[in-house]
Structure 1
Amino acid sequence: MPCVLTPDPTAQETPARPTSTSTSLRDRSSAMLREHLRPTIQFLLVGGVVFLLDTAMYNLLVFWSPSHGWGTGLMHGTPLTAKVLTIAVASCLTYLGNRLWTFGDRPRPGTTRSIMLFILVNLIAAGLQLSCLGFSRYVLGLDSVLADNISGTLIGQVVSTSFRYVTYGRLVFPKH
């Protein structure tokens, strides 16, 4: 007769419980995700809309002529000046979008301070973006629509947007 093991009816099985460390880590991670997901998505949406406007304005200024159409535009010879103009317009729109929507739930104690820090952060970010465009144009000698859009608009925008995201939340629109 084979031996069959039966469970002891008096023994109680206790489910494996996560340790308090893993629970608190999970809770903290979840809370951090909830806290940062919404503003990150809103920041990216504001940035995405303004990015499209910046790109369109730059390409119109540098590569479109009212009399000749696409090719060499009114500011083809001065792309950095064109980029400064488009960044200035984009920065104003970015401030409004982020102040009113992305970080709209944060207090507004020092609007002048906030605007001054915003200008400083954007000047640094603009310098980063212009450096990418200037390097492509004046060091590598690339001046095509594709080269300008990759270096000044795409790469420059990624670098400057990363810088802006970190500094906006900490300096320009702080929680306290």
Structure 2
Amino acid sequence: MRQFLARRPRLARLAAELGKFGSVGAVAYVVQLGVTNLLWAVGTTALTGQAVGTLCAIAVAFIGNRFWTFGDRARTGYGRETLLFLVMNGVGMGLQVACLGFTLYVLGLDGPLARNVSGNVVGVGLGTLFRFWSYRTWVFPPADRDESRAA
């Protein structure tokens, strides 16, 4: 596998970013699950609990992704990166909440299992795909044109 990746540096870079992104995401996911389920346990509404849990995970993910996952990419300004990160995470959170809302209000399923599957599995999965693509494309762009063609 190492020889395969050594002959394909763009693929090796993508695999490394994907691994780091997944690691950061796993930590953020644990934070999100913990906060969301804690809020649900104390009586917070389903959508509010999901949104607050996701906001906590976004803070963890920003630090990990900015300084580790995409740490070798061009720095385009803390303010710009933060704003775009929050916008892209707003879209990702919208996907999560939409999945949960669909389960609650269209399918009529409400319970811990239905909430976790729709919001924390399906919603997080769709949001994660969008986030990885948008971070690589807009939030933390490649340092030069050669890398941008590899993306």
Q: Which has the higher helix share?
A: 2
Unaligned 5+ segments in structure 2 are 144-151
Looking at structure 2, the residues matched to 50 and 29 of structure 1 have their Cα atoms a distance apart, in angstroms, of 33
Superposition CA RMSD, Å: 1.6
8 Å CA contact 2:104, 2:110 repeated in 1: yes
- TM-score, L = length of structure 2: 0.87
CA contact (8 A) 2:5 2:12 kept: no
Kindly indicate whether residue 109 of structure 2 is the aligned counterpart of residue 142 of structure 1. yes
> What is the rounded CA distance, in whole Å, between the counterparts of 2:93 and 2:7 in structure 1?
33
1:38 and 1:117, CA in 2 relative to 1: closer, same or farther beyond 3 A? same
1:132 aligns with 2:110: no
Matched with 1:92 is: 59
1:140-176 deviations in Å (ceiling 9; x for gaps): 1111111111000000000000000000011001113
Measure the CA separation in 1 of the matches of 2:60 and 2:19.
17
Q: Which runs of 5+ in 1 are unaligned?
A: 1-25, 65-72
The question of 1:58 aligning with 2:25 is answered no
- Which of structure 1's runs of 4+ aligned residues deviate more than 6 A? 26-29
Tell me: CA distance 1:93–1:30, structure 2 relative to 1, closer, same or farther (3 Å).
Answer: same
Aligned mates of 2:7, 2:60 — CA distance in 1: 32
Q: Which secondary structure state, in structure 1, belongs to the residue aligned with residue 33 of structure 2?
A: helix
1:1-176 equivalence runs, <5 A: 30-62=8-40, 64=41, 73-75=42-44, 78-176=45-143
Asked whether the 8 Å contact 2:25–2:61 carries over to 1, the reply is yes
Task: State the Cα distance separating 1:44 from its structure 2 match.
Answer: 0.4
Secondary structure in structure 1 of the residue aligned to 2:130: helix
Alignment TM-score, normalising by the size of structure 1: 0.75
Task: Describe the shift of the 1:111–1:138 C-alpha distance in structure 2 as closer, same or farther (beyond 3 A).
Answer: same
Structure 2 CA distance for aligned equivalents of residues 109 and 60 of structure 1? 37
Query: How many pairs were matched up?
Result: 140
SS state of the match for residue 105, structure 1?
Answer: coil
% identical aligned pairs? 38
